[in-house]
Amino acid sequence: MRTRLVRLWPYFKDGRTALVWIVVASLVGASTEPMIPALLQGLLDEGFAAQSVPLWMIPVALLGVFGLRGAAGFAAQYLLSYVANGAMLNLRRAMFKRLSAAQLSLFQTQSASSLSNTLVYEVQNGTNLLVGALLVLTKDSLTLVALLAYLFYLNWQLTLIVLLVFPALVLVMRVLSKRLYGLTRRSQLATDELAYVVEENVLAHHMIRLHAAQASQEDRFAKLSLQLRGLALRSTVASAAMTPLTQMLAAMALSAVVSAALWQANTQGTSVGSFVSFVTAMLMLVAPIKHLADVANPVTRGLAALERGLELIEHVAEQSSGAHKQDAALGHLAFSNVCVRYPTKEDMALDNVSFHINPGEVVALVGQSGAGKTTLANLLPRFVETTSGCIELDGVALPEWDLRNLRAQFAVVSQDVVMLNDTLAANIALGQNIDRDRVNAAVQAANLVDVVESMPQGIDQTVGHNATQLSGGQRQRLAIARAIYKNAPILILDEATSALDNESERLVQEAMNTLMQGRTTVVIAHRLSTIEHADRVLVMNKGHIAEQGTHAQLLALDGLYAKLHAQGTVNA
């Protein structure tokens, strides 16, 4: 546990001063605990017997003790909340920063629901559980020490009997805490699986209803829910067992102490006040002991939750980056013996691909689904890494470029349009400062003026989740406007015209033609007109470049391209 807390300390260290004051407040609160049995002793021995205590002193003393304890408790709880929220802020920032720069393989191995659950909910729950437990640990540990010190002062022989219980108490807490930690980790994985099923069903709700798959999905959800329920019940057994076991140990100590105290009273003449004060202080030990026994559960759960965040920060590597930078690339691309194999597949996605693209050239990629077109395009901004071979931009290998600067050289317009839940202007100027004149110019160039004018707030209109309130053609033109605003020297286009009506297709094509002017362009082509006007066509087949040339040259060659063209699949 100590090692885990040390790993978390860097995120809490901003609150060092507050932590010192927490300890001070807890010490003040703990010091008030022995005052209560001490007041009882004085009241019984002097107040009732000799009646030497002024009546007004009793309420003043009690109010003073409880007032001091309440103020100390309030200060400790507030300061600990301050520290906890600061640590949660630091941890979330570090996690989100790593998430933004992580190797892309992370998103292939972990679902969106799992990552969001870790970053948002588990960090919050883990921090709250851990900090609440640490408050109990600090406050009740100091209370325990204060009461034990007072018990030693009153009667050291009886106090030794109480201390005999502690080794058994530590053993119980250690065994059950270890059990609880393992169950907590398994519960986290089960929760991730359950959240992923919900995510899948929300995203694929049309398809599930179309195929009447609700029953099978409900069975899948029920099985995972039952698994999670079983783990929760086993965790409850481990957690709930701590309290009765510790209380039984406390009862054994109490029985022994009462018997020994009665014997001492008969043989040594212990006063009633001393006996009552000792028994009261000893009984007051039960509450902090119980709290300390219960603290293992939130500490274990909190650490287990926060460790997932730490694993994301410490074990997920950032994508490598070079040092080469330049303001704007010329746009010369060279592929040399490039191979790509995905970890989950045996066949090569790209196999020994070599070609070059000159600055300002428009190159169309055509081929059947699975031929490697998208993989080839994703290599350029390093969304996919090569297994072997080399890709150069302006004579510099891609890994030698500063990653942020490399990606600044590319604008991407894909069929899968992604928009953030922000204003139209913010989506167009994504990653850059919003220049309203440039935004309006991009809107005009992308044939979006009529769409913007129809919005009540114009370019300041929030587009909602992934801009689903817009049509497919409007979202496509919005993506083109974003690319125009970025003004990158190289374009990667994936034409999305097959699902658009004729008017939307015309507007999108006009916007694309405007966007492509004067830029090196790699386009995954679906339209025959795009292929005909491309400077060069690369025909891909099973990860290879089967043919290349202009549209007319490839038809004259009468090879794969001519066959695809004849079948009508070259623009499908």
pLDDT of residue 572: 42
Q: What phi and psi values does residue 49 have, to the nearest 5 degrees? A: -80, -60
CA-based nearest residue to 332, from 242, 397, 262: 397
Q: Where are the alpha helices (DSSP H) in 1-56?
A: 2-12, 16-32, 35-42
The two structure tokens encoding residue 152? 């030693």
How far is the CA of 359 from the CAs of 332, 363, 375, 376, 522, in angstroms?
5, 11, 21, 18, 11
Contacts of 270 (CB under 8 A, 6+ apart): 155, 261, 264
The two structure tokens encoding residue 89? 């802020």
Q: Per residue of the chain (572 residues), give pLDDT as tens.
A: 667 777 778 888 788 888 888 888 888 888 888 887 777 776 766 655 555 666 667 678 778 888 888 898 899 888 888 888 888 888 888 888 888 777 777 777 777 777 877 787 788 888 888 888 888 888 888 888 888 888 888 777 777 877 777 777 777 777 777 787 778 778 878 887 888 788 778 767 666 776 677 888 888 888 888 998 888 888 888 777 777 877 777 777 777 777 777 777 667 666 667 777 777 887 787 778 767 766 777 877 788 778 878 887 877 777 888 899 999 999 999 999 999 998 878 889 999 999 999 999 999 999 888 888 989 999 999 988 999 999 999 999 999 999 889 999 999 888 778 888 888 999 899 888 999 999 999 999 888 898 899 999 999 988 887 777 788 788 888 888 988 899 899 999 886 544 566 676 777 778 877 888 889 999 987 777 778 888 999 999 989 999 999 989 999 998 888 888 887 666 54
Separation of alpha carbons 419 and 435, rounded Å: 19
Separation of alpha carbons 509 and 507, rounded Å: 5
Q: Are 91 and 44 in contact (CB under 8 A)?
A: no
Which residue do the tokens 């007109």 mark?
Answer: 529
- Please, what CATH class does the domain formed by 2-315 belong to? mainly alpha
Task: Give all strands (DSSP E) within 362-469, no chain letters.
Answer: 362-366, 388-393, 396-397, 410-413
HSE-CB at 334 with a 13 A cutoff on CA atoms is: 10
pLDDT of residue 107: 76
pLDDT of residue 548: 92
**What stretch(es) of the chain map to CATH 3.40.50.300?**
333-567
> Vertex 68, ends 63 and 71: CA angle to 5°?
120
**H and E: helices and strands count for the chain:** 24, 10
SS3 381: coil
**What stretch(es) of the chain map to CATH 1.20.1560.10?**
2-315
Q: Are 356 and 522 in contact (CB under 8 A)?
A: no
Separation of alpha carbons 305 and 153, rounded Å: 43
Which residue do the tokens 């304890």 mark?
Answer: 69
CA-based nearest residue to 480, from 519, 454, 537: 519
CA-based nearest residue to 418, from 351, 466, 487: 466
| DSSP single-letter state for residue 462 | B
Which CATH code, of 3.30.70.20, 3.40.50.300, 3.40.50.10490, 1.25.10.10, is assigned to 333-567?
Answer: 3.40.50.300
pLDDT of residue 330: 92
The two structure tokens encoding residue 368? 């059947």
Residue 46 CB coordination number (10 Å):
13
| DSSP single-letter state for residue 388 | E
CA-based nearest residue to 305, from 2, 11, 3, 4: 4
The two structure tokens encoding residue 329? 């690339």
